[in-house]
A and B are shown apart, each in its own frame.
Chain A
Amino acid sequence: AQSVAQPEDQVNVAEGNPLTVKCTYSVSGNPYLFWYVQYPNRGLQFLLKYITGDNLVKGSYGFEAEFNKSQTSFHLKKPSALVSDSALYFCAVITGTASKLTFGTGTRLQVTL
Chain B
Amino acid sequence: GAGVSQTPSNKVTEKGKYVELRCDPISGHTALYWYRQSLGQGPEFLIYFQGTGAADDSGLPNDRFFAVRPEGSVSTLKIQRTERGDSAVYLCASSLPSGANVLTFGAGSRLTVL
User: Taking beta carbons and an 8 Å cutoff, which residues of A are in contact with B?
Assistant: 32, 34, 36, 41-46, 49, 51, 90, 94, 96, 99-106
Contact = CB atoms under 8 A, between A and B. Distances in A.
Given A32-B100, A43-B4, A100 B48 contact: yes
B91 A44 contact: yes
B104 A46 contact: yes
Interface stretch (B39-47, B60-68, B74-82): B39-47
B91 A90 contact: no
Interface string B89-113: 0010100001110111111100000
B45 A46 contact: no
A34 B105 CA distance: 14
Given A100-B45, A104-B42, 15 more contacts: A41-B107, A43-B106, A44-B43, A44-B91, A44-B103, A46-B103, A49-B100, A49-B102, A51-B100, A99-B55, A100-B98, A102-B45, A103-B35, A103-B43, A106-B41
Contacts of B59: 100
Contacts of A102: 45
18 contacts: A32-B99, A41-B107, A43-B91, A43-B105, A43-B107, A43-B108, A44-B93, A44-B105, A46-B102, A46-B103, A51-B100, A90-B42, A94-B99, A94-B100, A100-B33, A100-B59, A101-B103, A105-B42
